[in-house]
Structure 1
């Protein structure tokens, strides 16, 4: 293919990323990832902040992972500081998929406690992927401050993030099981059970933790 032909194809992809039809945007993102090119990076990052269709967003993230980190990282790091919640959330999600620990300093306390649940959930997932060796206990301490937050899906996301940290989370988690806040206590107990037995299932762990708290127990009897 000639250079002119390649340029024409790239222009078409860039135009189709802005198309009103989600199927066209999905195809364009697929092409951008299948045939990576520097000219796609900025537009892909921009589209992540605007895209309303889940499947297209997922393909945009995949396309970005197909490009060199040196090209994608600067734009994504700018987006995590965006005023738009979707931009922050999708940039964090993409950073978790890229997995380059140079992005770790961008995972701030503010993002881990973001008022938007989707942003916070994305930050939790990114944090456990990017955390440098030895800094897991500090991250666990920050994450456990979010225990008891939100509805079931938010609580489950946080439990999964904490479980991914392994034994490093135990001191902070056990401290949370004595919290005066019943929601925090229940969530901490459920997470502790998932850590001990991931096959128990999240629904069981959460309901069991609520039962223990309702009965006035600590959940640590017999240990």
Structure 2
């Protein structure tokens, strides 16, 4: 006798996830996360790819982390091949929150250098969470190819990702300090400064690095 009520509840939640009211979608995602059911995983992932409100997307991600990673991770990896940038970005973001190392091979160079800024930023964050220790130098080398990319928020995201890897980044940073592009040199210097002095702040570090570049020195310590 309970099945009709269960079916009705399922339909109500599924409709809630597609409601035009963001607060209704939020409550529906919260309900799914509170009472995880593998039957909702596909719908949660589908909504992640199209949801317009950040706070709802965040709740969808939380709901997915409440489900078994053996169910969610393969489906999230599939999203990384989507033509829709938001699907790739949210898939990466959710994988970083799940933290299952089985997802690491799916974090490809193509994603780390994706033309879409949000996809690339999500890939950087996911990569530094999932990377095995013995592959950190290789990841640092790929991330270093993105130095100088974008505006301040983008550059700050990359610096944070690199710094999360620790001192393994020093060789690639020092190589980047001799790059022909001033933006790349300044970004590399600022990142090294923040690695040494996390309290310096990105704005201070990047402005200091730009002054050093303008003066024609690398700022490297002997």
TM class by smaller structure: over 0.9
The reply to whether residue 112 of structure 1 matches residue 105 of structure 2 is no
The reply to whether residue 17 of structure 1 matches residue 26 of structure 2 is no
Q: Which runs of no fewer than 5 residues in structure 2 stay unpaired?
A: none
Match in the other structure for 1:208 = 208
Separation of aligned partners in 2, 1:8 and 1:39:
14
Residues 3-14 of structure 1 aligned to structure 2 (within 5 Å):
3-14=3-14
Deviations 1:93-119 (A, max 9, x none): 000000001001110000000000000
Match in the other structure for 1:127 = 127
The reply to whether residue 61 of structure 1 matches residue 61 of structure 2 is yes
**Number of residues of Structure 1 aligned to a counterpart in Structure 2:** 222
Q: Which runs of no fewer than 5 residues in structure 1 stay unpaired?
A: none
Deviations 1:183-211 (A, max 9, x none): 10000000000100111111111111111
The Cα of 1:5 is off from its aligned counterpart by 2.5
Match in the other structure for 2:98 = 98
The Cα of 1:220 is off from its aligned counterpart by 1.3
Separation of aligned partners in 2, 1:38 and 1:11:
15
The reply to whether residue 35 of structure 1 matches residue 35 of structure 2 is yes
Return the TM-score normalized by structure 1: 0.97
The Cα of 1:7 is off from its aligned counterpart by 2.8
Separation of aligned partners in 2, 1:203 and 1:214:
17
Match in the other structure for 1:184 = 184
Aligned residues: CA RMSD: 1.1
Match in the other structure for 2:80 = 80
Residues 110-189 of structure 1 aligned to structure 2 (within 5 Å):
110-189=110-189
The Cα of 1:38 is off from its aligned counterpart by 1.1
